[in-house]
Structure 1
Amino acid sequence: MTTTDSPVRSADATHRRAASRALYALLSAHAISQTGNVITAFAIPFYVLATGGSGVEVGLAAFAATAPVIVGGVFGGVVIDRIGGRRTAIVADIVSGVTVLAIPALALTVGLPFWALLALVFTSGVLDTPGQIARRVMLPELTETARVRIERSVGLLDGSERLSKLIGASVAGALVALLGPMAALVTNAVAFLISAAITRLMVPATTVRMAADGDTDAAARRSYWRELRDGFRFVVRDPLMRLIVGMVLVTNLLDAARSASLMPLYANAELGGAGALAVIVAVMGGSALIGNVAFGFIAHRMPRRVTFALCFLVAGGPSSAVFALGAPFPVLVAAAGVSGLAAGALNPILGAVQLERVPAPMRGRVFGLLNAGTWAGVPLGALLGGIAADGLGLFASFGIVAIIYTVVTTAPLAGGAWRLMERRPNEQTAL
């Protein structure tokens, strides 16, 4: 008995270790790619300001950076389901790296007019969302093979994004302050290419479910538009997905107005520039990283709906109110830390709920549509943030954001379809 079971246990342990290595490689690639996005978010506004741009132009640049999220989310999901998450992630990182590198290359040689900057920023972001979704689509199978709780792996994935904000904000702030935004963008391009290399070399294609359950030939014969329509129908008919999209759409709009336009303008006018903003964003990112990882270990013991609502409330309102009140810099940093800790619980809950409710063969297109829906207000929010700053002033704009954020994030406490967030009674327990 022992001699028969021993090889089986040994093979199982080897398979599990391989899946764990692939899982952590995926998390590393995600963190590096997201670091590149954070550097872009820092470098572009300060490049616009350094060339004499106004608040509206900062908002337009933020609009150009965020609008591709919607395009990529809507139309890239079906591609992920068809060609696989691994291949999509690699191509997305390579394209993003090359297009970002074109910005400093043109600016330092033949020149870069504002319209060309907007075009390159837009182009560089088109595949960012499919790349992010592709790595998330790969997560469940690696998680299952590695025998990790889904909440924990989702927490680690989102924690890697928070880590990228911590690292990216620090690196971007230092590069912009010492060497200028062009040096930051070169670093950004390198980050994308490193992420692509890690995915290519360390995440085996054999660990990723690339075909839908059932007849792959039949799946291939189905039209792109029919598959997109099937994903859209799933999102529209699921009551919880509709509520999530509606609520997060509003909060993401407010977050975009705050982070893409209001905070850079506030830092430039009140805090002395990019260095202070880098500290605030890094503290928020570091706190959210701690919250992500810590919550991933206790999420299975917490009620999802109430935890989600309370953490969302703390994450948004107070951190905007302190800017509206013109609080001292140490208070801004402290509020960012509290906000980050609370925000750390949000994506692990949402990610686990989505992975539980969406059938595996549809994850690419459904996640893409969910991402597009929740980000639909981001380009408008970024633009409105710049307009509000010029028209109403920074303090009043932050106050409006704080009030709306507080009202919207209490919605899950009302119950109804929000109760579907809770775990199913027959949910399988993992390690």
Structure 2
Amino acid sequence: MTAPRRVVPLVALLSADTLSTTANAVTAIAVPLYAWQVTGSPLAVGLAGAVTTVPLILGGAFGGTLVDRIGRRTVGVVSDAASGLTVLAIPVLAALDQLPFAVFLALVFGGAILDLPGSTARSTQLPELAADAGLALPRALGLHAALHRTSSLVGAALAGLLLALGGPTTPLFASAACFAVSVLIVLLLVPRTRAVHPTDPADGEETGPATGAGYWRSLADGLRFAARHPLIRALIVLIVVTNAIDAAGMTVLKPLYAAGQNDDGALLGLLVAFFAGGALTGAALYGAVGHRLPRRATFVVCFVLAGAPPYAAMALDLPVPVVLTVVLLSGLAAGPLNPLIDTVLFALVPERMRGRVFGATGAAVSAAMPVGALVAGVATDAVGLTMCLAVAAAVYALVTIGSAVGGRWRALDEEPQPALTR
């Protein structure tokens, strides 16, 4: 009778994370389309995208420390509760004709500020709960990635349906509901974890209470740890660039492409859903056979195929069914990337440092996302959508092909299998 009780917290955590990711997927589609609908300006769409991504930097900078000090469960609950309330306020105020664009941007900012801390809180609970459930960590990470992709698929499909039925604010009611259910699941079924007062890796002393100085010290600990490892440094640089392009794509380029194909922009939901469906399949395949594949070769091939092709297909103005097929195959290649990277990171980062390191690296790789969104908005206004799509494809191809060279990437095949430090 003890085994089911040990499995329940893991299932509950994964379920809550799935609902939270679904809500964020719905919101990510609705926000740029609402900005386009009320302004008709690519620059305004880029501004909305920047406001969505700036909180990822701030949340990553402080969120990892909050996770270690306050507790993973508490941070996860507060994150989803805050996101749900701010997301719900957007359609309510819009229906009352009390939503100036500046207020809309403020709500988008407020809804996103705790997204990364919440995600960090849930992901750093996985090793402990997986061990309690008797599930090997690589399989737990593969399952987590598959569920993440599934929720993105469901969220995109739901957003597309609700967009077609009721406009860009309608999907946000569904998003708020998902956040609310996620909060309830965690409160009822996920055990509370104690706040961690981490020790400095250099001197082994307690960092002390959660003062302002302590937060900055903990953040510096996470950045120092990441900077000492050539592989982690290389991953951060690569993902900074690709995240900037992806932010430009998701917040500006793809919404404008979708709006140009049909008036309601519902094609954006299909683009996200096809990518997520391919990624779900890719993650599942990697979970089944990934341990037999060379990490470095898998990483390079998947990253190259996942990034540039969709932008190239849209830039060439290929028929929509062809674009959707390319996006599907791109998602298939993207599926193994997160579990592969997570497996390496969990092997490198000790448990007591994970909140700080994951939070700090999350902030670092998010740093260029607002720039990507703003640059895309300005550039699309200046030179047009087609040129911006072509440049995105070219830059993505160059940086991902670059991961095939350099000695630091050989460490992908050299890292040991992860072990849980208890």
When the two structures are superposed, what TM-score results if normalisation uses the length of structure 2? 0.93
Out of 147-156 and 211-220, give the one that drifted further.
211-220
What stretches of structure 1 of length at least 5 have no aligned partner?
1-13
Provide the residue aligned with 2:253 in structure 1: 262
Task: Decide whether the 8 Å contact of 1:169 with 1:279 is kept in 2.
Answer: yes
Provide the residue aligned with 1:101 in structure 2: 88
1:330 aligns with 2:330: no
1:27 aligns with 2:18: no
Provide the residue aligned with 1:157 in structure 2: 144
Task: Decide whether the 8 Å contact of 1:69 with 1:128 is kept in 2.
Answer: yes
2:150 maps to a residue whose letter is L
1:312 aligns with 2:299: no
- Evaluate the alpha carbon distance shift between residue 301 and residue 69 of structure 1 in structure 2; reply closer, same or farther with a 3 A threshold: same
Provide the residue aligned with 1:372 in structure 2: 363
Cα distance in 2, alignment partners of residues 242 and 285 from structure 1: 27
Cα distance in 2, alignment partners of residues 289 and 379 from structure 1: 27
- Evaluate the alpha carbon distance shift between residue 381 and residue 135 of structure 1 in structure 2; reply closer, same or farther with a 3 A threshold: same
Matches within 5 A, 1:284-363: 284-363=275-354
Q: 1:54 pairs with 41, 53, 63, which one?
A: 41
Matches within 5 A, 1:343-422: 343-422=334-413
- Deviation for aligned residue 1:253: 0.6
Q: 2:196 pairs with 207, 211, 228, which one?
A: 211
Matches within 5 A, 1:187-202: 187-202=174-189
Cα distance in 2, alignment partners of residues 271 and 182 from structure 1: 18
Matches within 5 A, 1:97-176: 97-109=84-96, 111-176=98-163
Deviation digits for residues 108-129 of structure 1, max 9, x if unmatched? 2251111111111101110010
Cα distance in 2, alignment partners of residues 296 and 31 from structure 1: 18
- Deviation for aligned residue 1:423: 5.0
Cα distance in 2, alignment partners of residues 61 and 237 from structure 1: 35
1:254 maps to a residue whose letter is I
What stretches of structure 2 of length at least 5 have no aligned partner?
none
Task: Decide whether the 8 Å contact of 1:212 with 1:360 is kept in 2.
Answer: no
Task: Decide whether the 8 Å contact of 1:97 with 1:124 is kept in 2.
Answer: yes
- Deviation for aligned residue 1:259: 1.6
Cα distance in 2, alignment partners of residues 348 and 282 from structure 1: 20
1:38 aligns with 2:29: no
- Deviation for aligned residue 1:213: 7.4
- Evaluate the alpha carbon distance shift between residue 233 and residue 271 of structure 1 in structure 2; reply closer, same or farther with a 3 A threshold: same
Cα distance in 2, alignment partners of residues 366 and 307 from structure 1: 25
Task: Flag the structure with larger Rg.
Answer: 1
Task: Decide whether the 8 Å contact of 1:153 with 1:296 is kept in 2.
Answer: no
**CA-atom RMSD, angstroms?**
2.1
2:401 maps to a residue whose letter is T
Cα distance in 1, alignment partners of residues 89 and 216 from structure 2: 33
Cα distance in 1, alignment partners of residues 325 and 380 from structure 2: 24
- Evaluate the alpha carbon distance shift between residue 301 and residue 43 of structure 1 in structure 2; reply closer, same or farther with a 3 A threshold: same
Provide the residue aligned with 2:53 in structure 1: 66
1:262 maps to a residue whose letter is L
